[in-house]
Amino acid sequence: MADQDLAELLHQQAMNLHDEGDEDLALQTYHRALELDWSRPSTHYNIGLIHKYRREWAESLKHNRLAVELDPQDEASNWNLAIAATALRDWRTAREVWQRLGLKIEAGDTPIEADFGMTPVRLNPDEKSEVVWARRIDPVRARLINIPYAESGACHGDVFLHDGAAVGHREHEGREYPVFNALELFEPSADSTYEARLRVGDQADVEELITLLEERRIAVEDWSRSVYILCKQCSEGTPHEHHDAPAASPPEPGNERLVAIAGPHEDAIRQVLTEWSDDSRSLLELECTLAADEFEED
């Protein structure tokens, strides 16, 4: 059997091993294929793919770069090369790739900080995932604008590196947006997550508190109204607006509301709550459920 034919056979075996969940043996088999035929872009791409999801960025960059050198027009290899370069803060390579893909990004070696619009991001996609809205600052990084549940380990304002392939969609104001799976925390924010349980007279009291907090540039969400639960199949499909939570919350009593607040200073949040409170409405409990400095990457 010719070397190229044997390399193809090994490549197919490695793909099957990967599908079966044996990544280590798959990688060994892919490398055996490369020993016989180094110039196989698909093999380099598949190796780079495994390393991407393992967050082994140097190896992912190496093999995606080789795949691109062998097949410069392959879009998937280019995207994964840019993702690995971004994870490694190799801005020159990332910018070169985005330019090659036709995106309006200038050459250089500084971080990309632009506005690529809103996007939903799925946190912890392999576990109890939560989809939140974010604003993309480059093609594969997004800053969270929702307040995630504390169980996600993520805070409002965190910047996440996300994948390039969409998994499902979300609708907002009549428009569909692709959902991207988060790969890793890229830059943590200074905000902590607080849950405030309120006694209110009606919804207007909650809206007034939201206005007061937003005037002070403190993020806030009415969790009694804004969060809903999706099964895995629906989460990866096309449900409606806002973010879906990892677990159902019990309904609030008629005169109580659960509000999420995100900010760096608890004193500033309490001050607003004190100003807002009167005889008909008040704070029942304020709990910091995730301090910004508690999050540690794996």
Per-residue pLDDT tens listing for the chain (298 residues): 688 999 999 999 999 999 999 999 999 999 999 999 999 999 999 999 999 999 999 999 999 999 999 999 999 999 999 999 999 999 999 999 999 999 999 999 999 999 999 999 999 998 889 999 999 999 999 999 999 999 999 999 999 999 999 999 999 889 999 999 999 999 999 999 999 999 999 999 999 999 999 999 999 999 998 654 444 444 455 554 445 655 445 445 569 999 999 999 999 999 999 999 999 999 999 999 999 876 544 4
- Bridge partners (DSSP) of residue 197 are 258, 285
H/E element, 183: strand 175-187
pLDDT for the residue 294: 61
Helix (H) and strand (E) counts for the chain? 10, 11
| Residue 215 CA, distance from chain mean position | 27
Strands 244-245 and 118-123: unpaired
Sign of the alpha-carbon dihedral angle for 168, 171, 177, 181: negative
Closest CA to 273 of 191, 193, 195, 202: 195
For residue 57, the SS3 value is helix
* Helical residues (DSSP H) of the chain, grouped into ranges: 3-19, 23-36, 41-53, 57-70, 75-87, 91-100, 203-215, 223-226, 232-235, 266-276
Burial annotation 242-265 (CB, 10 A radius, 16+ → b, else e): bbbbbeeeeeeeeeebbbbbbbee
How many C-beta atoms lie closer than 10 Å to residue 290's C-beta?
A: 23
Give the integer Cα–Cα distance in Å for 258 and 271. 18
Cβ-contact 167, 122 below 8 angstroms: yes
Cβ-contact 262, 155 below 8 angstroms: yes
H/E element, 142: strand 141-144
Q: Kindly state the DSSP code that residue 108 receives in the 8-state scheme.
A: S
pLDDT for the residue 128: 84
Q: Identity (one letter) of the amino acid at 68?
A: V
Both tokens of 98, joined, read 């985005």
Give the integer Cα–Cα distance in Å for 132 and 137. 16
**What angle is formed at CA 84 by the lines to CA 42 and CA 92, rounded to 5 degrees?**
110
Cβ-contact 98, 164 below 8 angstroms: no
How many C-beta atoms lie closer than 10 Å to residue 282's C-beta?
A: 14
Can you give the pTM of this predicted structure?
A: 0.89
